[in-house]
């Protein structure tokens, strides 16, 4: 689990409307070729798709926004490097409790469990 400290979030992508996370594996004239981190399937991502690297994502707080990279590091430290329960088995209420412990001033109306 020590790999987290060295993970480059700029290479991990979120694509609006597509489940899971991806990495870019190639470029074509009018699109990117992305690969699912879940099942390894490759697919095109076009200019109209909203693609964001995790490095670009921030979490809203009552003060300054906090980069996702910092939030993930706080989760890692809070969990002492241990994996969190399977996300499919943890309730929304449990996620909110964990998130409040990690980032107490997160903006509750703007941050969604999904």
Domain boundaries, the chain: 11-54, 57-102
- 11-54 carries CATH number 3.40.190.10: no
Phi, psi of 35 (to 5 degrees): -125, 130
Give me the pLDDT at residue 89, please. Answer: 84
Question: What is the DSSP annotation of 51-102?
Answer: EEEGGG-EE-BSSS-EEHHHHHHHHHHHTTTPPPPPTTTS-HHHHHHHHHHH
Output the pLDDT for position 5: 53
Per-residue pLDDT of 16-40, as tens digits, reads 988 999 999 998 888 899 999 999 9
Q: Give pLDDT tens digits for 60-73.
A: 999 999 999 899 88
pLDDT tens, residue by residue, 58-108: 999 999 999 998 998 898 888 888 877 777 788 888 888 888 999 999 998
């Amino acid at each position: 689990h020590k790999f987290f400290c060295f993970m480059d979030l700029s290479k991990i992508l979120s694509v609006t409307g597509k489940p899971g996370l991806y990495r870019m594996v190639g470029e074509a004239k009018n699109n990117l070729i992305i690969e699912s981190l879940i099942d390894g399937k490759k697919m095109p991502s076009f200019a109209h798709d909203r693609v964001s690297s995790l490095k670009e994502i921030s979490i809203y707080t009552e003060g300054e926004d906090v980069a996702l990279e910092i939030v993930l590091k706080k989760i890692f430290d809070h969990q002492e490097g241990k994996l969190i329960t399977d996300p499919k088995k943890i309730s929304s209420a449990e996620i909110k409790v964990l998130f409040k412990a990690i980032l107490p001033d997160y903006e509750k109306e703007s941050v969604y469990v999904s």
